[in-house]
Amino acid sequence: MSTLAYAASSRTAPLAPFSIDRRAPGPDDVQIDILFCGVCHSDLHTARNEWQNTIYPTVPGHEIVGRVTAVGSNVSKFKLGDVAGVGCMVDSCQHCASCGDGLEQYCENGFTGTYNGPVFGGDNTYGGYSSRIVVKQKFVLKITHDLDQLAAVAPLLCAGITTYSPLRQWGVEKGQKVGIVGLGGLGHMGVKIAAAMGAHVVLFTTSPGKEADARRMGAAEVVLSKDTAAMAAHANSFDFILNTVAAQHDLDPFLNLLKRDCTMTLVGAPEHPHPAPNVFGLIFKRRRLGGSLIGGIRETQEMLDFCAEHGIVSDIETIAMADINTAYERMLRSDVKYRFVIDMATLAA
Ligand code: NAP
Ligand code: ZN
């Protein structure tokens, strides 16, 4: 079925209108008319081939909220008219150990990304910068937030789960001192979610103008990461740090803030590698540097329910589809409060 979309045709081409073909829903499929799609920095990395794996033309978008407009005969989780969400994955092998553990993002045979997947061969997939998507019900999420919040719920499907999952995995709990590095799309969700978990949240930023916003979101303290004296005042004091920065930077100033045996987890995936950390900073306090990729489907539903229960949504600026190229430039200047969300009604207009 022919479907309107926006695609990049090469690393340097701006995104432009494009027509894609969506399959007719099979027995296990849910067809969703897309209402809103968040704009993740990964969309930009992919559109510009910054991870050197982009299959062109590429239709980004993996923070999708929409309305169910058809269901296959085996679909029991959704019915016509339901609101539903789709995040970063639309399939995985379903038989490896990771899939068995509900960790489809670590599928040993390679999960299928909502766009630009499967990475290791097969047909390209097209994401949420489009009017409609067809996805296996297993990979479709239930949304329980109020209907007037749907645009602000869309970013939870990637930014929300990518921060929730490591905060849970590393056991963040009430009273712990937790650092969030970078107040962008991921970082602002990290601040809100860690604060809702009861942590004492410290936001590290390179942008002096973001302090009041960070405090409103739940940060107890805000530190300008380029202020070495302010950084030194926090040495050896953190239980956990989540680093969401989208660009190459020196990790040592943050690693030095961890207590003995504690971890900084990277979720930012910059085009160019960070300089290797100072080994002595790690070994003298048995500190750890970790990484984390989105979250599994079960955990994504848990995160959506947690956010609904705690009244958490994203801070968004709604844009028209045609504004996407300007939005990318603004994202590169850290000029977004704090997630762009495309109103998909503007695609057909
Ligand atoms: P974003 O909205 O652009 O936010 C990134 C933030 O990083 C900026 O707001 C800025 O915060 C900080 N920053 C940017 N350039 C910097 C620099 N040169 N030095 C220091 N700080 C800088 O991006 P996002 O959508 O949150 O995504 C962040 C990263 O996570 C991207 O690389 C994305 O691809 C990746 N990601 C990973 C996963 C995963 O599963 N691991 C999932 C989604 C996204 P301040 O202004 O506060 O300094
Ligand atoms: Zn994303």
Task: Say yes or no to pLDDT of 141 above 70.
Answer: yes
Q: What is the pLDDT of residue 145?
A: 96
> How large is the average pLDDT for residues 123-152?
97
Q: What are phi and psi of 204, to 5 degrees?
A: -105, 125
Task: Give the pLDDT confidence of 205-230 residue by residue, as tens digits.
Answer: 999 999 999 999 999 999 999 999 99
Instruction: Quote the pLDDT of residue 172.
Output: 98
Query: Counting runs of H as helices and runs of E as strands, what totals does the chain give?
Result: 12, 17
pLDDT band at 122 (very low <50, low <70, confident <90, very high): confident
pTM above 0.85, yes or no: yes
Give the mean pLDDT of 46-75. Answer: 97
Percent of the chain with pLDDT over 90: 97
Average pLDDT on 138-155 reads: 97
Cβ of 152: how many Cβ atoms within 10 Å? 20
**How many angstroms does the Cα of residue 251 sit away from the middle of ligand 1?**
14
Judged by its nearest atom, the ligand closest to the C-alpha of residue 41 is: 1
Secondary element (H or E) of residue 303: helix 297-310
In order of their start, the domains of the chain are 2-158+315-346 (3.90.180.10), 160-291 (3.40.50.720)
At 120, the pLDDT band (50, 70, 90 cuts) reads low
- pLDDT value for 123: 85
| Token output for 297 | 């489907």
Instruction: Using the predicted structure, report yes or no on whether residue 121 has a pLDDT greater than 80.
Output: no
Give 20 Cα–ligand 2 centroid separation in angstroms. Answer: 21
Q: To which H or E segment does residue 331 belong?
A: helix 324-332
Give the ligand at the shortest distance from the Cα of 63.
2
Which residues form the pocket of ligand 1, taking CB atoms under 6 Å from any ligand atom?
40-42, 45, 158, 162, 182-187, 205-207, 210, 244-247, 249, 267-270, 292-294, 331, 334, 336
What per-residue confidence (pLDDT) applies to 118?
74
Tens-place pLDDT, residues 20-36? 999 999 999 999 999 99
Whether residue 300 has pLDDT greater than 80: yes
pLDDT exceeds cutoff 90 at 246 = yes
Average pLDDT of the segment spanning 170-186: 98
- Over residues 98-112, the pLDDT tens digits come to 999 999 999 999 999
